Structure 1
């Protein structure tokens, strides 16, 4: 990137870097500010590219793959059960791809704003940990918001405290390794935050988030070079704290373990109307059956982007009155039912590419070599939780979830390219 004045540098570098650094704060407030930041960063970067007549940043295989997927979403929407809501979602989906390339370009120009982004996550985690534990033990947070049935801290009725912590945890952990030496006294504070945040995810009662944080931990332990002992230490201490708290306050344990088993029809309280084992729960099973019926009827293109909500009430698809929702609560099932086999192929290709490179990395470890450094492994662990197929999820077209996901990609692409350049 080349700037002809201080003003240009502020507009095209400093301002987008500030917006990016503040996204961890914005995600706590909801999807609006974070989505506005993503859109503005992408728009400013496009203006810069047109001004300089330089589009070389987009000559990247990952962007080409994303671009083809985006084109398919738009075409699918236009020819398949068209409605303006679906068109708005699919058309503006391109902002995520441009955002990733924009941040990658900023990192290539000057990566010093990584520290500002890290400190924003650091402050957010500390604030949520203090407020979350206070709410769990006292019954209301520092703003006076009651806990109701789950600890949610500043997220209030959204109840996505665990989701926020589990999805940003890999980036936070990875950046702390990247920016600070592990023997540094400051790093002891980070370790404490890592442990307490894992514990708070359990106490939040978010079962998917608790699975994610453990999946991320296993991934780092298996594939990192020098982080095994540290990650095992934080994991074991957090498990110890969870066990101790559960013995005194069993409510979180009841939700994550007992309620899960009961909903799967494996616990002490069984469904009197059925002896079947449910996939996560009876209502989730109904969603998946409804989605499968949609897929059988629309194998190639699906029912259309975010159209599950519009077709789940159809008599030929629904299982019962409770089989209808805004989305089928599983990314793979949603992609299959809403975008068909063509859309599902993109997801499978991404999964295959991810697994292929991770397995290559694992095999090279036996020869004392590696494809990814430990920072990249941490970021990859954050991507792995999104690619894991066997877990209830939010909508794949949810703005908040997509922003939390794409935060990983600029760091990963930049780090890989930097290492190749240095080597």
Structure 2
């Protein structure tokens, strides 16, 4: 092999390792890296030794064909095709990850280091912002509490939390995605960590617990409720499925419960966001007293998605079809609130890919369920810890009962397809 090829492989390997850091910076660099890895995979596809008869590969290919077909059926086909045609690059991106790691596992170790660095960086800025606002809050509380009982300003004590942000974004600043980022990065960290640390000594055990706890706490204080619920679910599934990690995750869950309870008790801002606002949403405080699944806005998005699905039940209204159909045809309808996507994965699939696309996702979901809970021995694992966590991460990605960003968004898709690349690599090795 000539030196240029070796050099190119090394560069692509380093790019893969830097993905966790690139994802902090935003969509540009992460999408650039994903595209480079995609090109590398196309040029070296024979090296991948991908089993094209694999059920996941077949379903992905059928889904992509449906994706293209439904884009051709509407007047906004050019806009839709701009999104659907290049979407196959994420499949090659996953294949590229397998080729990189098959060639040299050192890039997987570099990826682990990048995960740890990214987690510490994001959590550090999260802590700084949180404690800054907490300090200001107690200063203000002391100031108001020192006033005379009959002073009108003292009444502000009751709603003092409203003067301060109830969501923490840290290094992401105006983008409120700290919780989402940490939730998506956690399984990638855990997969790579247990790949290289199958037998934990005390120091590594304490380090792992420390990382998981700070991830959870920062997701908690971020105010991102959907990532918090999904992260809790993910941790519970690892505890349930990975028999060799149950003692470790018992300790982690105890720490999490103590810290969460302590935070809710002493921090009215976080309690207002996580508990009180959620209860008001469900009870319909923002929807004329009517019960809502999440919020009135989300309910409006869901209604729009359902109407679009009924109009185009088989193939859907194509990628980006939700926004076009909603703003062009539904915006004046009662109980409909338009936006770019319906903020929940399966309703987006129903409205934009129809029954066919959604059915493929459901088949994958139940196949993963079978692989995790039926085929695996939950008392004594047959699979490796890393591969089990990959399955769990993919399973949670297909979990229907959640809100989300657009599932076809480039930034989100990178997070969806990294576990697929790790699956292709680990499934063969089963380590």
What's the TM-score, normalizing by structure 1?
0.89
1:163 aligns with 180
Change in Cα spacing, 1:249 to 1:149, as seen in structure 2 (3 Å) is closer
Q: Does 1:406 align with 2:417?
A: yes
Matches of 1:253 and 1:400, distance apart in 2: 30
Alpha-carbon distance, 1:41 to partner = 0.9
Q: What is the deviation of 1:81?
A: 3.8
Which of 185, 189, 196 pairs up with 2:207? 189
Give the superposed CA RMSD. Answer: 2.2
Partner residue in 2 for 1:9: 6
Structure 1 residue aligned with 2:426, among 384, 391, 415? 415
Q: Which residue of 1 aligns with 2:295?
A: 281
Give the match's secondary structure for 2:422. Answer: helix
In the alignment, is the contact (CA less than 8 A) between 1:63 and 1:97 conserved in 2?
A: no
Secondary structure, aligned partner of 2:18 = helix
SS at structure 1 position matched to 2:291 = coil
Cα distance between partner residues in 1 of 2:411 and 2:287: 38
| Change over 3 Å in CA distance of 1:54–1:227 after alignment to 2 | closer
The offset of 1:55, in angstroms, is: 7.5
1:44 corresponding residue in structure 2: 40
Match of 1:376 in 2: 387
Counterpart CA distance in 1 for 2:298 and 2:329 is 18
1:400, distance to aligned residue in structure 2 (A): 1.2
Question: SS state of the match for residue 400, structure 2?
Answer: coil
- 1:313-343 CA distances to partner (integer Å, 9 max, x unpaired)? 3555764486100100111001001111111
Structure 2 unmatched runs, 5+? 135-163
- Equivalent residue for 2:191? 174
The structure-2 alpha-carbon separation of the partners of 1:193 and 1:279, relative to structure 1 and needing over 3 Å to count, comes to same
Report the counterpart of residue 132 of structure 2 in structure 1: 138
Match of 1:243 in 2: 261
| CA displacement 1:232-270 (0-9 Å, x = unmatched) | 21122022112222222221121111111111116xxx3
Deviates more, 1:235-244 or 1:119-128: 235-244
What is the aligned counterpart of 1:302 among 291, 297, 316?
316
Q: Take 1:148 and 1:257, find their aligned partners in 2: how far apart are those partners?
A: 15
Any conservation in 1 of the 2:166–2:269 contact (CA below 8 Å)? Answer: no
Which residue in the other structure is 2:402 paired with? 391
In the TM superposition, what is the alpha-carbon distance from 1:272 to its structure 2 partner? 6.8
Structure 2 distance, partners of 1:373, 1:415, is 9
Provide the rounded CA distance (Å) in 1 between the counterparts of 2:7 and 2:321.
Answer: 42
SS in structure 1 at match of 2:201: coil
Paired with 2:37 and 2:349, the residues of 1 have a C-alpha distance of 27
Q: Where do 5+ consecutive residues of structure 1 fail to align?
A: 141-146
1:149 Cα deviation after fit? 4.3
Counterpart secondary structure, 2:402: coil
What's the offset of the Cα at 1:63?
Answer: 3.0
Larger Rg: 2
Distance 1:298 1:246 in 2: 45
- 2:372/2:392 contact within 8 Å kept: no
1:132 to partner: Cα distance: 0.5
CA deviation after TM superposition for structure 1 residue 111, in Å? 1.4
SS of aligned partner of 2:243: coil
Give the whole-Å Cα distance in 2 for the aligned partners of 1:320 and 1:119.
Answer: 51
Q: Is the 8 Å Cα contact of residues 208 and 393 (structure 1) preserved in structure 2?
A: yes
Name which of 116, 125, 146 aligns with 2:110.
116
State the match for 1:143 in structure 2. Answer: none
C-alpha separation between the residues in 1 aligned to 2:398 and 2:427?
Answer: 20
Q: Name 2:100's counterpart in structure 1.
A: 106
From 240, 260, 271, give the equivalent of 1:222. 240
Identify if the C-alpha distance between structure 1 residues 20 and 54 changes in structure 2 by more than 3 Å, giving closer, same or farther: closer
Q: SS of the residue aligned with 1:76?
A: helix
Q: Any idea what SS the aligned residue of 1:279 has?
A: coil
1:80/1:301 contact within 8 Å kept: no
Partner of 2:31: 35
Structure-2 separation of matches of 1:40 and 1:54? 17
User: C-alpha separation between the residues in 2 aligned to 1:128 and 1:322?
Assistant: 37
User: Which deviates more from structure 2 when the two are superposed, residues 325-334 or residues 405-414?
Assistant: 405-414
Give the CA deviation at 1:380. Answer: 2.2
1:143-197 per-position Cα deviation (integer Å, ceiling 9, x unaligned): xxxx844211111111100000011101212322221232152442232121111
How many pairs does the alignment contain? 400
Tell me, in whole angstroms, the C-alpha distance in 1 between the residues paired with 2:244 and 2:222: 30
Q: Does 1:262 pair with 2:262?
A: no
